[in-house]
Amino acid sequence: MAFQSDNKVIKWIEYRLPIFTLLDHAVGTYPAPKNLSYWWNFGSLAGLMLVVQIVTGIVLVMHYTPHTSLAFTSVEHIMRDVNYGWLIRYIHMNGASFFFIAVYFHIFRGLYYGSYKAPRELLWFLGIIIYLLMMATAFMGYVLPWGQMSFWGATVITNLFSAIPVVGESIVTLLWGGFSVGNPTLNRLFSLHYLLPFIIVGLVILHIWALHQHGSNNPLGIDKKDSRDTIPFHPYYTIKDLFGIAVFLLVFSIFLFYSPNFFGEPDNYIEANPLVTPAHIVPEWYLLPFYAILRSVPSKLGGVILMFAAILILFVLPWLDTSRVRSAKFRPVYKQFFWIFLANCLLLGVVGAKPPEGIWVLIGRLATVYYFAHFLVICPLVGWFERPRPLPTSINEAVLPKAAAAAGE
Amino acid sequence: MATTHGAAHAGQTRRDFLFLAAGAGVGIGAALTVWPFIDSLNPSADVLALASTEVDIGKVPLGQQLTVLWRGKPVFVKHRNPEEIEKARADDSASMPDPQKDAERVKKPEWLVMLGVCTHLGCVPLGNQGPYGGWFCPCHGSAYDTSGRIRQGPAPRNLEIPPYAFLNDTRIKIG
Ligand code: FES
């Protein structure tokens, strides 16, 4: 099964370090189910965005100054004076949003097709950890320009830890390195913002390793049986991924060049002022659903606990979902609840962006209750009572019914 | 037979002991090594040194509020008018999350000095707003009364009173 080549250099290297065999297994002859749809493109898109963020980030750091008195102006310096600085910064800024867009598609695809079920639980866990680290990294990055939203976002998020009984206040002081968000805070967040993406790269490698152990899930959610169910990753899926990348980058470019501040908040172009909180402080869009959950609970500690629980509950999902069938294609009841759940998440996002008054408080509470009910009540019960539709006997048969029938004759 | 068994047993316990002692030594050593790195994140000496601020309050008109920075945090110095004092006292026995009498929160009733930091997640509440006529936090909707006590919303405690002293009628020292 080792990689074959006549090239002398490749042979020389391969004999000492079998890296070509490794790569060949990972992206070359790796047998992928032949029925993967475009929903399976978002994994590679997320990987691409990670690389884009690292490359642009490294260049930005060459021009940025992590000090409260200079951070804001150094970002403006990047925007106005550095050659193509505006472009690199806008790629980095919008790249974060598009990274999350890709990852959210990727996660909901996993939820729809049951990609978290045995034997892919660890693959799912690694994904959740990557998602958590992404949120931490994005939050820290948002602090660096030292605008009003940066400062107050950092204040609110770090204060979440003061909800912890007894040691909370000491933890917050430790995070700040002072009595409020200030220069020591900015410096440490900068350090970690540079570190975490590389940890994410490591986790992505583990994620892919775990993926290749049992192979990709597929729209039918059934296991592949023999070589008739699969095609080699290269060239079939490399070309499909490249096509997806082209489309994705096209959409990315529309925002990048025509509406680069679409995802941002105008208040962040005002330098941080510790005396005035902006009238509406909102986090970046990708954190809004969790922000809505935080605000829905009329207790500080309770809100913080529920917010973290909203993500951690994903870790137990493989056991909360009691159905043996993976794909929602064959689960008529779960399928409907999936769409309701997705709509509910979007609703939470809307609530998170609204001021916490009037009807929004009530809607936020109901949506929060439903969010947890989906995992704790609906998933177990539906798995129990639902009658799944009959599964096809093999991927090949479902995808190419005629060919399979002909072969059977 | 008995002696061999005893010797083997003794050897075993001695080895176990050495193993545990070495393990404990490494564990304690690791903890001692990690501590300086963690403690380096705590406030440094120069941050701790910024202890107090003096404020001239002579020019604050009745009903207005002065905001000053102390240890990187805003401090409200509010010159309360008689209605506000009256309202704060009238509510002394109302039910609230963090019960406190107005008299416990001031040195002179017309001067309310407190940290302008919402006890929920640290935003700066806005003055003369909200259902209790005191402060209202725009972040998640906590409402404070004219004594800075939490009356409604997610914040758990009243706005904190920093240590301060009147140097004379028009000067106070915070910290
Ligand atoms: S910070 Fe004031 S209500 Fe949350």
- Digit-coded pLDDT (tens) for A44-87: 999 999 999 999 999 999 999 999 999 999 999 999 999 999 99
Measure in Å the smallest separation between the Cα of A56 and chain B Cα atoms. Answer: 28
Above 70 in pLDDT, residue B43?
A: yes
Contacts of B66 in chain A (CB under 8 A): none
The per-residue pLDDT for A229 is: 92
Q: Considering chain B, what percentage of its residues have pLDDT values greater than 70? A: 94
The per-residue pLDDT for A407 is: 57
Alpha carbon nearest to ligand 1 atom 3, residue: B140
Each residue's pLDDT tens digit, B106-161:
999 999 999 999 999 899 999 888 889 899 998 888 899 999 999 988 889 999 99
Q: Which of A173, A175, A281 sits opposite B123 (nearest CB)?
A: A281
DSSP-derived secondary structure for B44-93: PHHHHH---EEEE-TT--TT-EEEEEETTEEEEEEE--HHHHHHHHHGGG
Q: Considering chain B, what percentage of its residues have pLDDT values greater than 90? A: 57
Give mean pLDDT, residues A294-313: 90
B49 touches chain A (CB under 8 A): no
A280 pLDDT band, cuts 50/70/90, is: confident
A409 pLDDT band, cuts 50/70/90, is: very low
A373 backbone dihedrals φ, ψ, rounded to 5°? -60, -35
The per-residue pLDDT for A19 is: 92
Cβ distance of A303 and B73 shorter than 8 Å: no
The per-residue pLDDT for A404 is: 56
Average pLDDT, chain A: 93
Cβ distance of B154 and A295 shorter than 8 Å: yes
Q: Which residue has the higher pLDDT, A146 or A22?
A: A146
Measure in Å the smallest separation between the Cα of B39 and chain A Cα atoms. Answer: 8
B9 pLDDT band, cuts 50/70/90, is: low
Above 50 in pLDDT, residue B1?
A: no
B78 backbone dihedrals φ, ψ, rounded to 5°? -105, 125
A195 backbone dihedrals φ, ψ, rounded to 5°? -75, -50
Instruction: Please state the separation of Cα A136 from the chain's center in Å.
Output: 11
Average pLDDT, chain B: 88
A108 pLDDT band, cuts 50/70/90, is: very high
Above 80 in pLDDT, residue B50?
A: no
The residue among A250, A95, A249 whose CA lies nearest residue A87 is A95
CA distances (Å), origin B152, targets A368, B88, B144: 21, 15, 7
Which protein residues touch ligand 1 with a CB less than 6 Å away? B 118, 120-123, 137, 139-142, 153-155
